[in-house]
């Protein structure tokens, strides 16, 4: 006998959710997901880009011709009297309202590399803060890329969390008289699946690269 909820048959399947939704739940799910579909597409693209970063970190250390003679200025004091200029070497990721760049500058001790996030001028962060943020600094370009990838999973999880919060608000507004927990869980699990897949792929690529490096070292001995 078909499972029912609130008098409706649970027969509608949605991606990455093991249960079935009623027609009312399914309509609410679609309404809520419509509000985050662009962010979800961006999440999937970032997952793809992060996997590529992990597989070929050295590729992103090669200067990109489209950023020749482009620079970024970063602020290092609240008064704004200590600024550093960095040359853009390559773009690591493109987010919804920001870009992540690998940058470089010359110092008295040689080249210094940094992963810098530059926000669009109309983004909420840029409107209340400076539009650049130094995420990490290194004296080795490839290590800078690898260290960034190790931290970038947090970006995915933060994006997924924000999307679920946005969808949850829509669901509550639509069916506040009912319990929308299953709809919210279905959306949450779909977003989490992207993040979990990214984690698994990044870990697999990282392990493969380390094993390859060990084999190269062993062959060179």
From the CA atom positions of the chain, what is the Rg in Å? 22
Domain that holds residue 23: 4-51+150-215
What would the pLDDT profile of 53-92 be if each residue is shown by its tens digit? 888 888 999 999 999 889 999 886 555 557 889 999 999 9
**What pLDDT does residue 175 have?**
66
In a domain, 95, yes or no: yes
Claim to verify: residue 210 and residue 167 sit in the same structural domain: yes
In a domain, 36, yes or no: yes
**What pLDDT does residue 76 have?**
67
> How far is 137 from 141, CA to CA, in rounded Å?
9
What would the pLDDT profile of 119-177 be if each residue is shown by its tens digit? 887 766 555 567 898 999 999 999 999 889 878 777 778 878 888 888 888 888 776 65
**What pLDDT does residue 195 have?**
82
Claim to verify: residue 135 and residue 192 sit in the same structural domain: no
In a domain, 184, yes or no: yes
DSSP string, 150-183: HHHHHHHHHHHHHHHHHHHHHHHHHSTTS--HHH
Among 81, 112, 139, the domain boundary falls at 139
Claim to verify: residue 76 and residue 43 sit in the same structural domain: no
CA angle 13, 15, 18 (to 5 degrees): 60
pTM of the predicted protein model: 0.70
In a domain, 170, yes or no: yes
In a domain, 57, yes or no: no
Among 72, 107, 139, the domain boundary falls at 139
> How far is 125 from 57, CA to CA, in rounded Å?
28
In a domain, 221, yes or no: no
Claim to verify: residue 87 and residue 133 sit in the same structural domain: yes
Among 117, 139, 161, the domain boundary falls at 139
Claim to verify: residue 47 and residue 67 sit in the same structural domain: no
Indicate the number of domains in the chain. 2
In a domain, 144, yes or no: no
Give yes or no for a contact between 43 and 194, defined as CB atoms under 8 angstroms apart: yes
What is the mean predicted confidence (pLDDT) over 98-126? 87
Neighbours of 119 (CB within 10 A): 19
Identify the CA nearest to 140 among candidates 101, 110, 99.
110
CA angle 161, 164, 169 (to 5 degrees): 130
**What pLDDT does residue 193 have?**
87
């Amino acid at each position: 006998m078909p499972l029912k909820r609130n008098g409706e048959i649970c027969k509608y399947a949605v991606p990455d959710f093991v249960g079935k939704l009623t027609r009312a739940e399914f309509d609410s799910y679609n309404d809520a997901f419509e509000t985050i579909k662009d962010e979800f597409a961006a999440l999937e693209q970032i997952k793809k880009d992060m996997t590529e970063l992990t597989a070929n970190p050295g590729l992103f250390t090669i200067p990109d011709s489209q950023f020749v003679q482009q620079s970024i200025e970063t602020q290092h004091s609240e008064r704004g009297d200590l600024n550093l200029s960095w040359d853009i070497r390559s773009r690591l990721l493109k987010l919804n309202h920001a870009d992540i760049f690998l940058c470089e500058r010359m110092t008295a001790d040689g080249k210094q590399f940094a992963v810098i996030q530059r926000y669009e001028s109309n983004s909420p962060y840029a409107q209340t803060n400076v539009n650049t943020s130094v995420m990490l600094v290194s004296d080795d370009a490839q290590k800078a890329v690898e260290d960034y990838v190790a931290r970038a999973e947090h970006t995915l999880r933060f994006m997924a969390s924000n999307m679920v919060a946005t969808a949850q608000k829509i669901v509550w507004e639509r069916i506040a008289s009912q319990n929308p927990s299953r709809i919210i869980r279905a959306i949450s699990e779909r977003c989490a699946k992207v993040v979990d897949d990214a984690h698994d792929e990044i870990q697999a690529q990282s392990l493969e690269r380390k094993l390859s490096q060990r084999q190269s070292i062993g062959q060179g001995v």
